[in-house]
Amino acid sequence: MKRVVSVLFVLTAVTAVNTAVLGAAANRVKVTLYYEHLCPDSIRWVSAQLVPNYNALRDFMEIEFIPFGKAKSINGGESFQCQHGPKECQGNMLQACVLHYLPEQQDRQVSYVTCQMNFNADPAGWQCAEQSEANLQSVRNCDEGVLRTQLLLEAERRTQQIPLTFVPTIVFNGKFDQTLQDRALKDFREVMCELTNKKVTGC
The length of the chain is 203
Q: What is the pLDDT at residue 202? A: 87
Per-residue exposure over 180-202, b if at least 16 CB sit within 10 Å of its own CB, e if not: bbeebbeebbebbbebbeeebee
- Could you tell me if 184 and 35 are in contact, meaning their C-beta atoms sit under 8 angstroms apart? no
Distance between CA atoms of residues 105 and 28, nearest Å: 15
Each residue of 29-79: pLDDT tens digit? 999 999 999 999 999 999 999 999 999 999 999 999 999 999 999 999 999
Is residue 7 pLDDT above 70, yes or no? no
User: Rounded mean pLDDT of 117-133?
Assistant: 96
Each residue of 142-183: pLDDT tens digit? 999 999 999 999 999 999 999 999 999 999 999 999 999 999
| One-letter-per-residue 3-state SS of 124-177 | CCHHHHHHCCCCHHHHHHHHHCCHHHHHHHHHHHHHCCCCCCCCCEEEECCECC
Q: What is the pLDDT at residue 17? A: 34
Of residues 93 and 4, the one with the higher pLDDT is: 93
